[in-house]
């Protein structure tokens, strides 16, 4: 049986806490992934002043290829952003990144997780549904670039330690 080079590489993915020095790499991903990318100042503020913010990066061979962020407030996590470099999409690594974010949220004691996604972004919606997210309403005109509506989605998180949650998780305290 031949080995799958993409699958083999996925075992080399490293998840760690985002640092200020990572911001230039994150901005490249932002500009590639979003029509309204966050600024350097926005990320700097999240990492230095927002005590609710938790951000992680995904590395392959020491290079940042993706990142995800959330706000952990009381017992709810709100996904702020999740993105991969375009060259690494289509390998189920976005799913791995979301898994790590959800594990981290559970580790931090969050009971549920929410996000907004463009109503036109069916690829992302399908991933979120696969991970247990359910539609819970819309925010009309949420995206300022084109006034597109956002679908609000929620998922329950298992308690930390359930279903192998402890394995491979990062500590983002």
143 is catalytic: no
Q: How many domains does the chain have?
A: 1
Q: What is the pLDDT at residue 159?
A: 82
Q: What is the pLDDT at residue 173?
A: 43
- Give the count of beta carbons closer than 10 Å to the beta carbon of residue 162: 10
List 86, 122, 128, 142, catalytic entry: 128
Place of tokens 């330690």: 161
Residue 25 lies inside a defined structural domain of this protein: yes
Residue 7 lies inside a defined structural domain of this protein: no
- Measured distance CA(102)–CA(130) in Å, rounded: 13
Convert the pLDDT of each residue in 49-67 to its tens digit. Answer: 999 999 999 999 999 999 9
Residue 171 lies inside a defined structural domain of this protein: no
Which stretch of DSSP H or E encloses residue 71? strand 63-73
67 is catalytic: no
List 116, 122, 142, 159, catalytic entry: 116
Residue 66 lies inside a defined structural domain of this protein: yes
Residue 6 lies inside a defined structural domain of this protein: no
- Measured distance CA(81)–CA(61) in Å, rounded: 23
Residue 172 lies inside a defined structural domain of this protein: no
127 phi, psi to nearest 5 deg: -60, -45
Domain that holds residue 22: 13-156
pTM of the shown model: 0.84
Q: 41: domain CATH number?
A: 3.40.630.30
* Distance (Å) of CA 96 to CA 63, 88, 114: 16, 12, 17
Residue 22 lies inside a defined structural domain of this protein: yes
Reading the block at residue 11, the tokens are 């075992």
**Helix and strand counts by DSSP (H, E) for the chain:** 5, 7
Residue 164 lies inside a defined structural domain of this protein: no
Which residue stretches of the chain have pLDDT < 70?
1-10, 161-173
């Amino acid at each position: 049986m031949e080995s799958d080079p993409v699958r083999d590489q996925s075992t080399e993915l490293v998840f760690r806490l985002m640092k200020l020095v990572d911001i230039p790499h994150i901005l490249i991903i932002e500009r590639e992934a979003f029509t309204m990318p966050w600024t350097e100042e926005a990320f700097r503020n999240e990492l230095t002043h927002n005590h609710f913010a938790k951000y992680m990066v995904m590395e392959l061979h020491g290079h940042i290829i993706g990142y995800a962020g959330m706000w952990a407030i009381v017992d709810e996590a709100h996904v702020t952003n999740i993105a991969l470099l375009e060259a690494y999409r289509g390998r189920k690594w976005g799913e791995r990144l979301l898994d790590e974010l959800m594990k981290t949220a559970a580790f931090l004691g969050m009971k549920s997780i929410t996000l907004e996604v463009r109503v036109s972004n069916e690829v992302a919606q399908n991933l979120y549904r696969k991970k247990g997210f359910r539609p819970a309403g819309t925010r009309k005109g949420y995206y300022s670039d084109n006034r597109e509506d956002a679908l609000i989605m929620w998922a329950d998180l298992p308690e930390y330690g359930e279903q192998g949650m402890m394995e491979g998780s990062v500590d983002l305290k």
